[in-house]
């Protein structure tokens, strides 16, 4: 799973593999399945409909964001994935560990770090439900998981479920749909408050990018991290879409010879390390960009900070919110 999540952090939602949208035409509406605690509940997804006969007591999560959503809704899984990208030495994400410590809960058993669901380890956890609404499980893997326990897959495409829908699907499966809506409303209030505290961001045109040795990535407004950024007041710079040239994905690659065309008031640049960020910003290609020459670059550095918004989760968005909005606001205010 480490390689997959590294790719997800770079590209968001696995769009290097599949460019589908999780709420596209024909996708089940998670809100339609959200209940108020009465069982059985039925949750629709890409592979059909899963009936959960009684309130789950032993929850196993797989993929990204499901453990966060369950914990935020008051249900600690018995087992969850190891997360090496953004996680600590044990493979636990900081916002999950902090929330569990705050609630006086133990860290769940960690499933092996693997590309495919570790069936034996999942079965050994004795789940009565398996939550994988933001994952890459195949139909065959879904069938195998369903032999262990009722399994909830993604609504449409793998690695492409909007973060709000992940929360709603988990809430529906746990019989906590109303609480999921309350959780989302609380997150939205915190984002609104953060935006209000940084009026300097209002109307600022922004482009979000990641330079790697392989390619220079530009993220479009459909990308979850861009959506989140625009919720804070900025607007997407016109060249972001103009340079996409019909690409239907959440991102595209841009030739380094054309970086001067990606003009914006503010550039948000992601990098795993200080060294990687500095290597890009000091490069001759980066110097083509007006934002770099003007010092209008907000550097988002570190796997924790990147994972927190790639895509956001029920716990990570608010965990990294103040840090993220301050990084953008300080650059804009200093211009």
Which tops the pLDDT comparison, 309 or 278? Answer: 278
Per DSSP, which regions of the chain are E strands? 41-45, 48-52, 59-61, 79-81, 109-111, 129-131, 151-152, 205-211, 216-219, 235-236, 251-253, 266-271, 297-301
- Dihedral-angle region of residue 245 (phi above 0 means left; psi in -120 to 50 means alpha; beta otherwise): left
For the segment 172-199, the average pLDDT, to the nearest whole number, is: 96
Kindly report, residue by residue over 130-155, the tens digit of the pLDDT: 999 999 999 999 999 999 999 999 99
Please determine whether the domains at 2-10+23-177 and 197-334 fall in the same fold group of CATH.
Answer: yes
> What are the residue boundaries of the structural domains of the chain, listed by start?
2-10+23-177, 197-334
Q: Does position 292 have pLDDT exceeding 80, yes or no? A: yes
Give every CB contact of residue 288 below 8 A, 6+ residues apart in sequence.
256, 259, 260
Full-model pTM: 0.86
Residue 158's pLDDT is 92
In whole angstroms, what is the distance from residue 236 CA to residue 228 CA? 12
Q: Does position 18 have pLDDT exceeding 70, yes or no? A: no
Residue 222's pLDDT is 87
The confidence band for 6, taking pLDDT boundaries of 50, 70 and 90, is low
What's the half-sphere exposure (Cβ side, CA atoms, 13 Å) at 224? Answer: 30
Residue 15's pLDDT is 37
Residue 224's pLDDT is 85
Kindly report, residue by residue over 24-45, the tens digit of the pLDDT: 334 445 544 444 568 999 999 9
CB environment 98-113: b (16+ within 10 A), e (fewer): ebbeeeeeeebebbeb
For the segment 52-70, the average pLDDT, to the nearest whole number, is: 97
Q: Does position 67 have pLDDT exceeding 70, yes or no? A: yes
Kindly report, residue by residue over 96-141, the tens digit of the pLDDT: 999 999 999 999 999 999 999 999 999 999 999 999 999 999 999 9
The confidence band for 246, taking pLDDT boundaries of 50, 70 and 90, is confident
Among 29-33, 164-168, 208-212, name the one with the lowest average pLDDT.
Answer: 29-33
Residue 247's pLDDT is 67
What is the percent of the chain with per-residue pLDDT over 70, rounded to a whole number?
A: 88
60 and 127 Cβ atoms separated by less than 8 Å: yes
What is 2-10+23-177's CATH number, 3.40.50.150, 3.40.50.1980, 1.10.1270.20, 1.20.1250.20?
A: 3.40.50.1980
Q: Does position 9 have pLDDT exceeding 90, yes or no? A: no
In whole angstroms, what is the distance from residue 151 CA to residue 134 CA? 12
248 and 19 Cβ atoms separated by less than 8 Å: yes
Residue 33's pLDDT is 45
Q: Does position 14 have pLDDT exceeding 70, yes or no? A: no
Residue 35's pLDDT is 44
According to CATH, the topology of domain 197-334 is Rossmann fold (3.40.50)
């Amino acid at each position: 799973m480490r390689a997959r999540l590294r790719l997800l952090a770079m590209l968001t939602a696995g769009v290097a593999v599949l460019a589908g949208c999780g709420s596209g035409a024909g996708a089940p509406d998670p809100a339609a399945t959200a209940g108020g605690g009465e069982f059985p509940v039925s949750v629709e997804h890409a592979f059909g409909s899963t009936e959960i006969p009684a309130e789950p007591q032993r929850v196993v999560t797989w993929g990204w964001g499901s453990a966060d959503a369950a914990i935020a809704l008051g249900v600690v899984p018995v087992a969850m994935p190891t997360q090496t990208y953004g996680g600590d030495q044990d493979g636990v994400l900081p916002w999950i560990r902090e929330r569990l410590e705050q609630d006086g809960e133990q860290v769940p058993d960690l499933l092996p770090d693997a590309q495919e669901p570790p069936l034996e380890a999942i079965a050994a956890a004795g789940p009565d439900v398996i939550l994988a609404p933001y994952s890459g499980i195949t139909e065959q893997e879904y069938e195998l998981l369903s032999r262990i326990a009722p399994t909830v897959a993604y609504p449409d495409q793998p690695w492409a479920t909007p973060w709000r829908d992940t929360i709603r699907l988990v809430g529906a499966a746990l019989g906590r749909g109303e609480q999921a809506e309350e959780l989302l409303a609380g997150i939205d209030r915190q984002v609104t408050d953060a935006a209000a505290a940084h009026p300097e961001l209002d109307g600022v045109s922004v482009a979000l990018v990641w330079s790697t040795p392989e390619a220079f990535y530009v993220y479009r407004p459909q990308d979850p991290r861009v959506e989140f950024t625009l919720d804070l007041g900025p607007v997407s710079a016109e060249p972001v879409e103009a340079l996409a040239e019909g690409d239907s994905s959440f991102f595209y690659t841009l030739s380094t010879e054309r970086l001067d065309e990606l003009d914006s008031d503010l550039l948000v640049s992601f990098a795993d390390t200080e060294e990687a960020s500095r290597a890009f910003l000091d490069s001759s290609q980066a110097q083509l960009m007006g934002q770099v020459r003007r010092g209008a670059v907000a550097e988002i550095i570190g796997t924790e900070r990147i994972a927190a918004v790639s895509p956001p989760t029920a716990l990570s968005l608010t965990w990294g919110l103040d840090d993220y909005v301050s990084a953008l606001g300080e650059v804009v205010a200093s211009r």
